[in-house]
Chain A
């Protein structure tokens, strides 16, 4: 009788271990296959700032501008030179000049582009 109980316990624990192992394997597999979140607007903005070697003051300026223009993605500033034209209510000459300098830095006076080779 005692022998049969010991055998039943053994089967139980083997079953438990098997289920745990299976769950662990599935969990690892899913974690490994899960794609990283590639949609990161904030990171894109950082990448662009880094690309253009903008300093903290310039980054703050872009953030301020993005907030002012109510842009969901600050990275949009890098493709829209028209956002760098100050609004009428701005009378801060320093701010206006900074925007103009930034616009020129990112787009130039006449925004033409050098064509890279076709991929």
Chain B
């Protein structure tokens, strides 16, 4: 801009500053005239000057022109928030349709919450022909204030929404009390939208059925979808002493919005206060509406399970809901429903559990498996044993958890008393069920009592755990007790690893005849002789026996017992050299 232009613009600015500040009332018609200027800059400057002057005539002009206002004008008015309020009040009460509509539109656009008392005056006036417009504005302003309260404070507005709420609620509360006179539900809806559950007037009105506002209040609580009304209803759940009418309204509603809001409260475990309040609720209207429940997502369906088991419903009603969810709910809900069904006995609940065994979801099947034995369902044991071989881990775990009596601690003392067939069957079960068995057997192999060590070795063989416990068994192959060594050889007989091969060959020259016999039997049975033929093995065996006997005799004659002077004529290659087991 040129230097001259800048100077002149400063002159125009000075003109409007003077018009804004002078006490001379003649400035007002000049400014109003400037509103019609073809220059948007001059017209906008006039708007600003009128708001600065706070002149009622000029502000009335602004309200009258609201429907044709440019964005620039609206921005200026927003900047001077609240200045237009007196003119808006006059407009709403003017009786002129054009002004009422403009006033209401401006109040909505500029969020003039302080206009609520004026709107109530207009709304309560029977003779006011524009009550509908005013009523809509009241509801819209309550909505906007509710959003303001929920969001962050707009510092540009230099206004505390909490303060606006207090003022609005106070005015609305008075209007609600005047309901018998005006018979309008909008003030009640706006009041419920903005008030909090600790409002004494609200509690009083909801606790007194003789109040003339009791029925209309319930009417709004049952029907309004305003977020504030829903928040209020849900908030009653957290109240230490909620009005029973409010709580009943919440559970009487069956619209999706309310159901969703309620179920959000049950995403986690409900608080103590909620549990306490729900003990007094014996009816939830929508729980019987399966179509509504089917529409819900998995999370909310799980919340339905929590809700159904927390409220004070009849047993059959709860089982019905849980049955529906267990069989037709989303996967998470099916699991939750089955778990929730656990305390409920009876044929109907048992049927649900049996049907759940055929569910597509492995966790649902696992949950069902877990309830077979506690419910005493016939065939539970065989079903659980079959499930031990399931490819799905959850099912195996569930079966194991329900066959806990098949554990090693119980099997140990009974082992020697069982018949061979039963021993084998039980050992196989214990191996599948008790994952701690190998560790316990390892500890048992270290027992100071030879009998216990021998029993542990027999159990290892019976449970087919030789491969898993090979190292521990190999140690027992060097046991001081030759009977233990014999048992160890029998266990090792089933293995083909190089270390076992070497040990068996070493034991073939053991000082104990029984051990040698057992070792040779093991070598022959499994056909492992380092590639030697049976005849060669037999010769080797005889040679070993002679040397072992000689060593034994020498030890009896005073020679040191350890390290028998056994030599290995034609010693066969070691197992590792010929590649056994590996």
Chain A residues in contact with chain B, CB under 8 A? 38-41, 43-44, 47-48, 51-52, 73, 75-76, 78-82, 104-116, 118-119
Contacts and interface: CB of A to CB of B under 8 A. Distances in A.
A105 B18 contact: no
A75 B45 CA distance: 16
A45 to B, nearest CB: 8
Given A79-B46, A106-B8, A118-B80, A111 B41 contact: yes
B24 A111 contact: no
Contacts of B31: 79
B33 A43 contact: no
B34 interface: yes
Interface in B1-44: 1-2, 4-5, 7-20, 22-27, 29-31, 33-34, 37-39, 41-42, 44
B16 A108 contact: no
Given A48-B15, A106-B12, A118-B80, 6 more contacts: A48-B18, A79-B42, A81-B39, A104-B8, A106-B8, A113-B44
B8 A119 contact: no
B212 interface: no
A105 B4 CA distance: 9
A20 B192 CA distance: 65
A109 B16 CA distance: 18
Secondary structure of the B side of the interface? helix
A47 B18 contact: yes
**Which of A51, A73, A80, A108 has the most chain B CB within a 10 Å cutoff?**
A108
B436 interface: no
B30 A76 contact: yes
Given A39-B24, A40-B24, A52 B30 contact: no
Contacts of A79: 15-16, 19, 30-31, 33-34, 37, 42, 46
For this complex, into which size category does the number of interface residues on chain B fall?
35 or more
Contacts of B30: 44, 73, 75-76, 78-79
A105 B2 CA distance: 13
B24 A47 contact: yes
A111 B45 CA distance: 11
B24 A38 contact: yes
A113 B41 contact: yes
User: Among A38, A47, A48, A119, which residue has the most Cβ atoms of chain B within 10 A?
Assistant: A119
Nearest to A117: B79
Contacts of B4: 104, 108
Would you list the 7 A-B pairs with minimal beta carbon distance, nearest first? A108-B8, A79-B34, A41-B26, A44-B26, A39-B25, A38-B25, A114-B13
